Amino acid sequence: MNHTIHFKVNGERYDLSVPGHHTLLQVLREQLVLTGTKNGCEAGECGACAVLMNGEPVNSCMVLAAEADGAEIVTIEGLAHDSQLDPLQDAFIEAGAIQCGFCTPGVLVNARALLNRNSDPSEPEIREALVGNLCRCTGYIRIIEAVKMAARAGKEVAG
Amino acid sequence: MRPFDYIIPKDHAEASALLAEGSGAARAFQGGTDLLIRVRGGFIRPERVVDLKSLPGMQEIRLGKDGWLVIGAACTMNQVAIHPLVRERYDLLAQGTASVASYQLRNRATIGGNCCNASPAADTAPPLFCLDTIVELYGPGGVRRLPIADFYVGPGRTALQRGEFLTSIHLPPSPTGAQGVYNKLGRTKVGDIAVMSVAVYAWPAATQSGLTWRIALGAVGPTPLRAPEAETALAADISPAGVVAAAQLAAGASRPIDDIRASAAYRRDMVRVLARRGIEKVLDLTGLRDLSGLGGAA
Ligand SMILES: Cc1cc2nc3c(=O)[nH]c(=O)nc-3n(C[C@H](O)[C@H](O)[C@H](O)COP(=O)(O)OP(=O)(O)OC[C@H]3O[C@@H](n4cnc5c(N)ncnc54)[C@H](O)[C@@H]3O)c2cc1C
Ligand code: FES
Ligand code: FES
């Protein structure tokens, strides 16, 4: 049985017909061809599929698309605005926090959510917030550095 | 994933009727963090999932007139962990919910799903056992209430009957001066499922030691377990020797198994260690540690 859902993705409205058992991840990637969001494990473990749902990060592999009816979704494609990168994206490039890049969309989305709720996180707070994002390349140190850099940059803009 | 229908029932009666239809054909669904994994793994094959989240009260936390705190079954772990009343009066439960998986998973995983999944390792269970929690169920026969210990029946098994579902979790008023500590052992410092866990809770009372105790153990039995002998021993004696003896009694109450995450012997010994740490921390928090003669020793 299909469901009609109305939702916003990166500010744009969509009306879609989705099967009950399809996940938000599947619909984003396969129906909307927003392939920035990655499918790593489909088990809630790796965080590569993280998106913002009504402002909060969720693993889109663990959300049914039908549940997103009425929701506002932000994917990695929605972080940059008018070809202006999110300060986190600049910091990731600057710090060399990306290697193969597979984990990066999920890490960025989740780190954006962290900075939205806590503009000046401590290192333990950054580590705690990113515990559900697995990266097999970087060893995490540069990712943590990049989040700190972005928080500092945010403070300079704000202050 | 094997196809299923997704249904949002309009009220409790419809939800119950949908769940009662067919044997195992319909499954209650909240955060889906256990359910979807089991469907993907082919362990269950529901024809429909019934999303209970938007039924009235399911996502609400409210203080009842009688002073009980009522938590809707579909409240997420994050919602419970940051709620001011939970933090102020039931910090032990805030610790348990905050220890689940990762921040983004805690935005989906619900407290009710954690109970209904009935894993002996469920992180909300040891806190809920210590807090003398009552759960409320809705079903074809109406509403009934059960102590949490009677709700957990076995690994993955609850007291839920056909067509019944969990609506809310009721916490009695917290005694003045109550303190609790949840200690969880995982393979990593944060974010991992419990190898085993211990919740310790105490409040000032007219006992020999000045405190009444609750100790509950996770992942060392077919269900979460209380450790009544340890609780009784601590009501009588909180001297350093009394604490060591009580921690040993807690280990004795455990009934662990060997599995991929740890051996039974290791789990039992870790109950002793985490129980001792938890008891000492609770004595610190209640300000009774110095009186107990433990002094400032780490
Ligand atoms: C990566 C990962 C890490 C995890 N880490 C932890 C951890 O550290 N600690 C921990 O305790 N758990 C952990 N879990 C397990 C899971 O997240 C929790 O048990 C969670 O609380 C389940 O809630 P849910 O709302 O997602 O349940 P769902 O998956 O929606 O439901 C779980 C079960 O309960 C039934 N059910 C749900 N709601 C009701 C209801 N109201 N009435 C009757 N039956 C109902 C469902 O039919 C299903 O059988 C983890 C899971 C994943 C995927
Ligand atoms: S793909 Fe969703 S958490 Fe790994
Ligand atoms: S950069 Fe390769 S997995 Fe993180």
Q: Which structural domain, as residue segments, surrounds residue B9?
A: 5-50
Residue B134 CA: distances (Å) to CA of A74, B6, B131: 39, 30, 9
Under 8 Å CB pairs connecting chains A and B tally to 79
What is the SS3 assignment for A126?
A: helix
Same domain, B191 and B140: no
**Contact present, A87 and A150 (Cβ < 8 Å):** yes
3-state SS assignment for residue A4: strand
Closest CA to A40 of A105, A85, A86: A105
Q: How confident is the model over A29-58, as pLDDT tens digits?
A: 999 999 999 999 999 999 999 999 999 999
Tell me if B100 is assigned to some domain. yes
How many Å from the N-terminal Cα to the C-terminal Cα in chain A?
53
Report how far residue B59's alpha carbon sits from residue B72's, in angstroms, rounded to the nearest whole number.
5
pLDDT in tens, B99-111: 999 999 999 999 9
Per-residue pLDDT at B188: 78
Is the distance from the beta carbon of residue B271 to the nearest atom of ligand 1 less than 6 Å? no
CATH code of the domain in which B196 resides: 3.30.390.50
- Confidence category of residue B296, pLDDT binned at 50, 70, 90: very low
Inside any domain, residue B56: no
Which residues 65-104 of chain A have a CB within 8 Å of chain B? 66-67
Placement of tokens 């060893």 in the chain: A139
**Architecture of the domain delimited by A87-158:** Orthogonal Bundle (1.10)
Q: How many CB atoms lie within 10 A of CB B288?
A: 19
**Gyration radius (Cα) of chain A, Å:** 16
Q: Give the C-alpha separation, B52 to B23, whole Å.
A: 19
B31 secondary structure, DSSP code? S
β-bridge mates for residue B216, sequence order = B199, B226
Answer yes or no: do B208 and B259 share one domain. yes
At A156, the pLDDT band (50, 70, 90 cuts) reads confident
A21 and B108 within 8 Å at the Cβ level: the answer is no
Q: What's the domain count of chain B?
A: 3
Tell me which residue in A19, A58, A131 faces B108 most closely, judged by beta carbons: A58
List residues of chain B with CB under 8 Å from any CB of chain A. Answer: 1-7, 31-33, 36-37, 39-40, 48-49, 51, 78, 101-105, 107-108, 188, 190-191
Is residue A42 lining ligand 2, measured as CB closer than 6 Å?
A: yes
pLDDT at B8: 97
Give start-end residues of each CATH 3.10.20.30 domain in chain A.
2-78
φ/ψ region of B129 (left if φ > 0, alpha if ψ in -120 to 50, else beta) reads alpha
C-beta pairs of B293-296 under 8 Å, 24+ apart in sequence:
B293/B239, B293/B240, B294/B240, B294/B243
What's the B39 CA to ligand 2 centre distance in angstroms? 15
Question: What's the CA gap between B4 and A140, in Å, rounded?
Answer: 38
pLDDT one-digit tens code per residue, B215-263: 999 999 999 999 999 999 999 999 999 999 999 999 999 999 999 889 9
The answer to whether residues B65 and B161 belong to one domain is: yes
Residue B96 and residue B68 in one domain: yes
The reply to whether B297 falls in a domain is: no
Ligand 3 pocket test, candidate residues A39, A45, A49, A103, most atoms within 8 A of CB: A103
CATH of the domain at B150: 3.30.465.10
For residues B187 and B288, membership in a common domain is answered with yes
Q: Is B3's CB within 8 Å of A128's CB?
A: no
Show the tokens assigned to B61. 């936390």
Domain identity same for B78 and B149? yes
- Determine if the pTM surpasses 0.90: yes
For ligand 1, is residue B37 a contact (CB within 6 Å)? yes
- Residue B291's pLDDT is 58
Q: Does domain A2-78 have CATH number 3.10.20.30?
A: yes
Q: Are B81 and B159 found together in one domain? A: yes
Sign of the alpha-carbon dihedral angle for B155, B161, B165, B169? negative
Q: How far is CA B73 from CA A72, A111, B180, B280, in A?
A: 24, 29, 22, 32
Which pLDDT belongs to residue A1? 81
Residue A133 confidence (pLDDT) above 70:
yes
What integer pLDDT is reported at residue B4 of this predicted model? Answer: 97
pLDDT digits (tens, 9 = 90+) for B18-58: 999 977 799 999 999 999 999 999 999 999 999 999 999 99
Distance in Å, CA B34 to ligand 1 centroid: 4
Query: How confident is the model at residue B125, as a pLDDT?
Result: 98
- Indicate the pLDDT class of residue B295, thresholds 50, 70 and 90: very low
Of B6, B37, B104, the CB nearest to A43: B37
Clarify whether residues B148 and B85 are in a common domain.
Answer: yes
Q: What is the pLDDT of residues A69-100, one digit of tens each?
A: 999 999 999 999 888 999 999 999 999 999 99
* Co-location of B190 and B245 in the same domain: yes
B298 in a structural domain: no
Rounded to a whole number of angstroms, the distance from the CA of B274 to the nearest CA of chain A is: 22
In angstroms, what is the span from residue B122 Cα to ligand 2's centroid?
21
Clarify whether residues B65 and B167 are in a common domain: yes
